[in-house]
Chains A and B, each alone.
Chain A
Amino acid sequence: MIPGLYATLGIAGLAAVTVVTRGFFLFSDREIELPAWAVQGLRYAPIAALVAVISPEIVLTDGALISTWQDARIYAVVAATAYFWWRRGILGTIVTGTAVLLALKIGLGW
């Protein structure tokens, strides 16, 4: 379980992040210009952050690469990936991956 004060501060900060990013160019009454490198960096930072968070969650167990084939995550990710390449829908991707995950976890106990 996540400790209370840590969670409270964490959530307060995350709420501030929401306010700051959503209203970024609306704080000032004057127009703001971003430097060119920042505008270019904006293209790559969100995807880099998403991938940085999910890739260890997908391929590692306690800090080591998955060493067994009996891991439901592998098949859930493969199924989700296959669905996305077939249909391009985010919702279907989640549903497909979760269905495979649950089938293996509940059915086979992986």
Chain B
Amino acid sequence: MRSLIRHPEFRRGVGDMVAPSLGIAAWGLVTGVAMVKSGMSVPTAAAMSVLVNAGSAQLAALPLLVAGAPLWVVWATAFCVNLRFVIYSAHWRAYLGHLPRWRRLAATYFSGDLTYVLFVRRFPELKRQPEQLPYFWGSTVWGWASWQAASLLGIVVADYVPTEWGLGFAGVLALLGITYSQLSDGKIRVAAAISACAAVAAFAMPLKLNILVAIAAGVASGLLLDRAAPESVREGA
């Protein structure tokens, strides 16, 4: 542990994370405020922040929890929002696969989008190197701490913000920004539009099932488009 922290690559990992962590912190602040202003108590929101440790999944789960949706719907939605991490984990395997199971799971549990982006940029070759682990933990620890500190600050501050200001909606705006950044090609845009319409049209369904109907509709239309015009898949990717 001590040798890990003293390793120069640990410091480099921290250093690479300092600039992006300002963005992480702002995002964490919004998440913290949105959680409390959507109707969560301060201790519940704090527990959610520390344990769940996943901004967009938390924000997506929020309206569902407030509406009292069945927990399996909440979990299924968070699972879908988190699917990008499944893709990252296939990549992490090349770098962390040699560690004992609990250590590799602990590592990925604390990692985030930016840790992944920075790490792959620093070590583009899918080959194990001794300086990877210190670098990983340097950027991960800094990213995690900035996120949690800002999120907890937001949770505490939100208690002093009047509910009439409607800051719960800032969480939706944050998810909107993420959504826009992922509309990378025409097929994804069509799938997103179909999912949006389905979620609104099926809103009257009980148990918040409109969310799952919309996800199914979006994924099915995307798969159909892939089948109808497979050649543009590569172009879009």
* Of the residues A11, A15, A49, A93, contact of B60 by C-beta under 8 Å: A49
Given the known inter-chain contacts A52-B198, A59-B200, please indicate yes or no for A101 contacting B51, CB distance below 8 A. Answer: no
* Of the residues B64, B92, B191, contact of A26 by C-beta under 8 Å: B92
A43–B188 CB distance below 8 A: yes
Given the known inter-chain contacts A10-B71, A21-B85, A25-B93, please indicate yes or no for A44 contacting B181, CB distance below 8 A. Answer: no
* Of the residues B63, B75, B191, contact of A48 by C-beta under 8 Å: B191
* Of the residues A26, A65, A91, contact of B23 by C-beta under 8 Å: A91
Q: Does B56 contact A (CB under 8 A)?
A: yes
Contacts of B170 in A (CB 8 A): 94, 97-98, 101
Given the known inter-chain contacts A21-B85, A26-B89, A37-B223, please indicate yes or no for A52 contacting B71, CB distance below 8 A. Answer: no
Shortest distance from the beta carbon of B128 to any chain A beta carbon, whole Å: 14
* Of the residues B79, B167, B226, contact of A21 by C-beta under 8 Å: B79
Complexed CA–CA distance, A2 and B178 (Å): 26
* Of the residues A9, A23, A88, contact of B105 by C-beta under 8 Å: A23
Near A by CB (< 8 A), chain B positions 72-88 give 74-75, 77-88
Nearest A residue to B116, CB-CB: A22
Complexed CA–CA distance, A94 and B61 (Å): 19
A101–B166 CB distance below 8 A: yes
Complexed CA–CA distance, A40 and B167 (Å): 36
Count contacts on B: residues with CB < 8 A to the other chain.
Answer: 92
Shortest distance from the beta carbon of A33 to any chain B beta carbon, whole Å: 10
Binds A, one of B8-16, B96-104, B149-157: B96-104
A14–B58 CB distance below 8 A: yes
A10–B101 CB distance below 8 A: no
Given the known inter-chain contacts A41-B219, A46-B81, A98-B167, please indicate yes or no for A23 contacting B172, CB distance below 8 A. Answer: no
B71–A13 CB distance below 8 A: yes
Near B by CB (< 8 A), chain A positions 51-93 give 51-60, 63, 65, 72-73, 76-77, 80-81, 84, 88, 90-91, 93
Q: Write 29 A-B pairs (CB below 8 A) sorted by A numbering.
A: A9-B71, A11-B48, A11-B51, A11-B52, A12-B51, A17-B57, A21-B85, A22-B111, A23-B104, A23-B109, A25-B92, A37-B223, A44-B218, A44-B221, A45-B80, A47-B188, A47-B195, A50-B56, A54-B176, A54-B179, A56-B203, A57-B172, A63-B203, A80-B176, A84-B177, A91-B177, A101-B170, A102-B165, A105-B165
Closest 10 CB pairs of A and B: A48-B218, A44-B222, A49-B80, A52-B214, A93-B177, A90-B177, A21-B82, A97-B173, A55-B196, A48-B195
